[in-house]
Amino acid sequence: MQRTFAIIKPDAVAKGVAGRILSKIEENGFKVVAMKMMHMTDAQARGFYQVHRERPFFGSLVAFMTQGPSIVMALEGDNAIARWRELMGATDPAKAAAGTIRKEFASSIEANAVHGSDAPDTAAFEIPYFFSALEITAR
């Protein structure tokens, strides 16, 4: 079993499709071991996306992620990181495969509905960024 981190981003929450995305997550064999809705502060978003701080899109990313509530989650399953990334689809929804979350629910490269850890070390940073050990359901 492996854990990964996921966000249903503010654009998807605002469109009212969070429940449909959660259904896809569960239908694809993931166990949600932690979940909460939150409205990220500027400081939280800057800290979370610190790896991108030198990139030109950093400011717009922070603004986007703080525009409204999002749902943060820890997911568990066999090969969870790779499987979640596959279910999310390409960052650009126009290039995402049919049946992926981004193909179905995203509007643009930036308003792309969901986030997911890209590697075990990323998940190891992202999950405890938002959840204490007490908030995560034991296996």
pLDDT in tens, the chain (139 residues): 999 999 999 999 999 999 999 999 999 999 999 999 999 999 999 999 998 899 899 999 999 999 999 999 999 999 999 999 999 999 999 999 999 999 999 999 889 999 999 999 999 999 999 999 999 987 6
If one counts every other C-beta atom within 10 angstroms of the C-beta of residue 5, the result is 27
- Decide: 112 and 7 in contact? Cβ < 8 Å: no
Entry pTM: 0.93
Place of tokens 């979370």: 48
Which of 30, 115, 117, 127 is labelled catalytic?
115
**Where are the strands (E) in the chain, listed by range?**
2-8, 31-38, 70-77, 114-116
In the β-sheet with 31-38, what is the strand arrangement from edge to edge? 31-38, 70-77, 2-8, 114-116
* Catalytic annotation present for 39: no
Of 123, 91, 111, nearest to 17 by C-alpha is 111
Place of tokens 């854990």: 3
